[in-house]
Each structure stands twice: as C-alpha cells, then as structure tokens.
Amino acid sequence: MLLCFYLFLAFLFGSLPTGLILGVYNGQDIRSSGSGNIGATNVTRVLGTRLGAWTLGIDLIKGVLPVAGAALIDGPEWYPGAVVLMVFCGHCWSVFLSFKGGKGVATGAGAMLAIAPTAILITIGAWIGVFMGTRRSSLASLSAAALLPISIALLSPQWLWTAGAISLGILYHHRENIKRLIDGSEFRFDLEEIN
C-alpha cells in the first residue's frame, strides 16, 4: 500500500508546473507566449535567463527528490525506476494542467540522476555540447534522449528499461520540434539577445 501511495505522490510532485507558477508570479502565463511550453527553454525565451534558470533548477530537483526518497522505502529493486517514470509522467501529463505539461527533459534528467549519476552527467554534457554548437534546445534534447539509453546500457544497465521509456517520452513530446528542425523553422537562441 505504501509503495503505491508513494508512486501517487511522486506523480503529484512531478505534476507541479514550475514554469507556469514562476511565470504567473511574474505576471505572465507562459502558455500564451513563445512556444506555449511550460519548460525552462520557453521561460528563458519569454521571461529571461534568471527565471529560465530557476525553472531548470527546480525541475531538476523535482526529479531528484522523489527518486532519492524512494531509497528510504523498503521496496523491490525495480521500484526506484518506477518512481522515475511516475515523476516524469507527472511533469508531462500534469494533473494541475488537465493532463498537459512539459516535455520532461529537465525533470527526467533529475530523476535519472538520482539512480544513474555518471551516465546522466555524460548525457547532460552531450546536451550542453549540442546546444552550444547549434543554439537549439530541442536538438540538444533530442540528442541527449538518443544518447541516454546507450550511456545507461554501458554504465547502469539495470535501469535500461527506465531510460528507454524516458527517451521515448522525450522523443514523443518533441514531435513538432522534429518537424520544424526538418523544415528549418525551429527556434534558435541568439545568446546575445537573452537577458
């Protein structure tokens, strides 16, 4: 019973819409501007780097904390991976946003960081490298999602099923970004214009 209740709590915790909360607190419904997404990329694009960084950091922590807390529960070996998926799903299909939400990159990274830190740090490094080279957050996220199962398979293979699900979820939520990348219309950050 406790295991099921904690999974439910993890889903609720993941559902907290960080970008929306910070945006509304600063007088802006982030869903009505830019791409309309509640994630750190759109918050940065619309409200600047300070709030974008806060969104990124809180979404990472939102992933880490429930999974780290799962270590305090005497559950089966697979249980932390299930908590990862519940937090990720909560972010992507938030109960507070009529089961809509973000794309899960930061929250998924934070959740996986709690169970496979070395593999995720490598993946985060890849995200940074692709972003700095292309200035496209979506391409960096897609690249990281593609690398995630590989790095997990090599370094933490017991979590490959979890990494595979997270990777597929991120790819699914970037469907429109993929179309825009193909036709050349995807948003590109001009770092000099970011405030």
pLDDT of residue 187: 87
DSSP 124-191: HHHHHHHHHHH--HHHHHHHHHHHHHHHHHHH-GGGHHHHHHHHHHHHHHTHHHHHHHHHT------T
Q: What is the DSSP letter of 33?
A: S
Helical (H) or strand (E) element with 73: none
Query: At a CB cut-off of 8 Å and minimum separation 6, what does 195 contact?
Result: 48, 49
Domain ranges (residues) in the chain: 2-183
Entry pTM? 0.93
Is the pLDDT at 191 greater than 80? The verdict is no
Dump pLDDT digits (tens) for 21-57: 999 999 899 999 888 899 999 999 999 999 999 999 9
Which of these ranges, 74-88, 89-103, 180-194, has the smallest mean pLDDT? 180-194
